[in-house]
């Protein structure tokens, strides 16, 4: 059916599109500004007010040269990729299994769901969590970034709801064909909730890519194990410190520090931005599938 464009509909569309375009600009402008600034001449950048529409002054790759020649950045990349891959893989396996178990009509379904929801509302807090992880021997251990944060109760609920949407007939027919629970999960159910799985994987990847706090607590003395975000944070904070340091005698160095801030932000953000387009097609479908009860 083709919708008839009434005058009010046209007005609505104009306002709607204008608003959405504005929203896009608001989201994209800061990212674009940082990107352009990272290629700009540092002195001219300091003298130019407002958002940058294009590179100001003579284009330079000096900031990227400094950032990428820093061994910490490469170490951080390596570690981050390991943490993101491991935590996402472990997470999606556990979340899928958890969601599937909770979607079955078992005796413990309700209490287990309640216990799960409880963790969404209350947490032990930083110090108890630290003590638990310390007693588990996770201090200075890379597993501290993989195991504790791998499961998210909210994602399990989304996954459970996604499984709930699937008609019981699928499971029944599979059972008649002699399939066990694992076969049903892997061969029947998972392909049907592919969109939800994709979205949760996306969420997990972004979450673990941006994560720096657990590393700052559990791996503070193991620089060789730091993720990229922690190195980024240190570089950004220390650049601020250097700018207010009495030891900072050369103004040119302050200018370069400012350039480095923009470059490191791009270096840390760009890879995760590139993942979005590949997962976008699953977004609406996946979230809706998991979010609707019936």
Partner 1 sequence: MNTMKKMKLSKKVFALSLSIAILLPLLTACTSETPQADPDATSAQGDSQVSEPAAGGDTAESESESDTLPAGIDWTTHETFTWWTNSAANDYYASYIDNPVIKYLEEKFNVTFVFEEPVSGSEVDSLSLMFGTSQYTDLVAMNQYQGSWDELLEDGVIIDIADYLDYMPNLCARMEADPGYKTALYNDEGQILSINSYPEESTKPWCGLVYRRDILEEMTGGNVQFPSGKDEPETIADWDYMLPLFKEYFEKLGLVEYAPLILPYNGYFPAAELTDSYGVYPYNFYVDETTVYFGPAQDGWREYLGKMNEWYKAGYIYQDFASRTQDMFFQPNTSLLYGNAAGIWMGMLSHLGDVMSDPASDVVYDVRPLKSPTAEGRTSADQIRHTTPPSQGSGLIYILTTACKNPEKLLAILDYMYSDEGGMLTMYGLTKDQIPADDTIYAANGLDEGAYWFDSSGSFVYNPLMDAVGGSLQSAYFAGEKIPGYIRNSYKTLAVADEVKNAYDKWCGGDDLTVKMPMPGISLTDEEEAATKGITMDLFLYTVELAPQFIVGTKSLDDESWNNYLAELEAIGLSLMLETNQTGYDRYLDR
Chain positions contacting partner 1, by CB under 8 A: 43-44, 46-49, 57, 118, 122-128, 130-132, 134, 137, 139-141, 213, 215-217, 220-224, 230, 233-234, 237-238, 240-241, 243-254, 258
Cα distance between residue 138 and residue 25, in whole Å: 43
Nearest approach in angstroms of CB 276 to partner 1 is 28
Residue recorded with tokens 């400094």: 66
- What does 219-235 look like in DSSP terms, one character per residue? STT-GGG--HHHHHHHH
Residue 40 and residue 57 in contact, taking contact as beta carbons nearer than 8 Å = yes
**Closest distance of CB 71 from partner 1, Å:** 11
Nearer to partner 1, 85 or 241 (CB): 241
Of the candidates 224, 270, 263, 210, the residue with the CA atom closest to the CA atom of residue 78: 224
Q: Is the dihedral of CA 283, 194, 164, 88 positive or negative?
A: negative
Q: Residue 35 Cβ, how far from partner 1 at the closest point, in Å? A: 19
Provide the 3-class DSSP secondary structure of residue 292. Answer: coil
Nearer to partner 1, 244 or 274 (CB): 244
Q: How far is the CB of 245 from partner 1 (least distance, A)?
A: 7
Give the closest residue to 115 by CA, choosing from 166, 151, 165.
Answer: 151
Place of tokens 């049903």: 184
CB of 144 to partner 1, least distance (A): 11
Strand runs labelled E in the chain: none
Query: CB-wise, 2 or 252, nearer to partner 1?
Result: 252
Residue 54 CA to residue 134 CA, distance in Å, equals 49
With respect to partner 1, which residue has the nearer C-beta, 213 or 278? 213
b/e 85-105 (16+ beta carbons within 10 angstroms → b) = ebbbebbbeebbebbbbbbee
Residue among 172 and 240 whose Cβ is closer to partner 1: 240
Residue 262: how many other CB atoms lie within 10 Å: 23
Give whichever of 125 and 178 is closer to partner 1, judged by the CB atom.
Answer: 125
Give the nearest distance from C-beta 193 to partner 1 in angstroms: 31
CB-nearer residue toward partner 1: 61 or 132: 132
Query: CB of 127: closest distance to partner 1 in angstroms?
Result: 4
| H, E, C per residue of 96-113 | HHHHHHHHCCCCCHHHHH
């Amino acid at each position: 059916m083709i919708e008839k464009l009434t005058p009010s509909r046209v007005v609505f569309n104009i306002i709607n599109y204008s608003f959405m375009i504005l929203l896009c600009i608001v989201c994209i402008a800061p990212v674009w500004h940082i990107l352009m600034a990272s290629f700009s001449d540092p002195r001219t950048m300091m003298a130019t007010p407002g958002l940058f529409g294009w590179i100001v002054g003579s284009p330079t790759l000096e900031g990227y040269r400094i950032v990428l020649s820093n061994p910490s950045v490469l170490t951080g990349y390596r570690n981050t990729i390991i943490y993101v891959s491991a935590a996402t893989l472990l997470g999606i396996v556990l979340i899928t299994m958890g969601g599937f178990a909770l979607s079955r009509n078992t005796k413990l379904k309700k209490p287990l769901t309640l216990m799960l929801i409880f963790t969404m509302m209350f947490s032990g807090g930083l110090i108890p969590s630290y003590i638990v992880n310390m007693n588990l021997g996770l201090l200075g251990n890379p597993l501290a970034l993989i195991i504790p944060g791998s499961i998210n109760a909210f994602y399990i609920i989304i996954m459970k709801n996604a499984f709930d949407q699937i008609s019981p007939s699928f499971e029944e027919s599979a059972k008649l064909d002699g399939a066990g629970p694992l076969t049903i999960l892997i061969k029947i159910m998972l392909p049907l909730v592919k969109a939800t799985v994709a979205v949760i994987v996306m969420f997990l990847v972004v979450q673990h890519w941006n994560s720096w706090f657990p590393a700052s607590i559990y791996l503070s003395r193991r620089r060789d194990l730091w993720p990229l975000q922690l190195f980024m944070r240190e570089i950004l904070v220390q650049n601020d410190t250097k700018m207010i340091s009495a030891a900072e005698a050369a103004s040119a160095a302050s200018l370069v520090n400012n350039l480095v801030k923009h470059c490191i932000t791009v270096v840390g953000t760009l890879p995760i931005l590139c993942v979005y387009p590949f997962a976008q097609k699953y977004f609406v479908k996946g979230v809706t599938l998991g979010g609707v009860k019936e």
